[in-house]
Amino acid sequence: MAARVIAVAKDSTHRFSKQPAPAITLLAGLGVEGDAHAGVTVKHRSRVAKDPTVPNLRQVHLMQAELFDELAAAGFNVAPAAMGENVTTRGIDLLALSTGTRLRLGADALVEVTGLRNPCRQIDAFQPGLMQAVLGRAADGSLVRKAGVMAVVLAGGSIAAGDPVSVEWQPPAFHPLAPV
């Protein structure tokens, strides 16, 4: 199965979940048009409190729908946009990508993966126990964060459910994803 966008979302206010939309527009260097996290500098409230001048490496939040399947098997009911992602994909292992990987979303949009979303305590407020469910352990015992990846927008464009997702470029050396 070819990788696809299965849902898109945005929200103009800072809430845990985003609002599903028929389509969203990505703006180069900014993020999702009309989303509270769009901007050149960091917009996540806890990060703004620390230093509002830091570059925004979290312009777009992508999450793979395969996580929802895993969560459903564990008794959770999570739909696209519920955990705050802008783009929900299926058919691409986002967590296995290298930092710096570029993804083509639809015909025109191009994003560069900057790192992992670090799940926060709001996840348990959404559904008790969900925080533990989106964390795992690798074979070596290291923590695995499954709550999606963050990216910056290199080229803007409109994206909608059904649009293809493809890896446009990968760094020559693999750089493991770390929280941003």
Q: Which domains does the chain have, with CATH numbers?
A: 4-169 (2.40.33.20)
Cα-trace Rg, the chain = 15
87 close to 61: Cβ distance less than 8 angstroms: yes
Asked if 92 and 104 touch (Cβ cutoff 8 Å), the reply is no
Query: In angstroms, rounded to a whole number, what is the distance separating the alpha carbons of residues 19 and 96?
Result: 27
Q: What is the pLDDT of residue 160?
A: 98
Beta strands in 31-178 (DSSP E): 31-32, 60-64, 87-90, 102-105, 109-116, 135-137, 143-145, 149-155, 157-160, 165-169
| Tens digit of each residue's pLDDT (9 = 90 or more) over 43-64 | 988 889 999 999 999 999 999 9
For residues 61 and 63, what is the distance between their CA atoms, to the nearest angstrom?
Answer: 7
pLDDT along the chain (180 residues), means of 10: 95 96 98 98 91 97 98 97 98 98 98 94 92 94 95 98 98 96
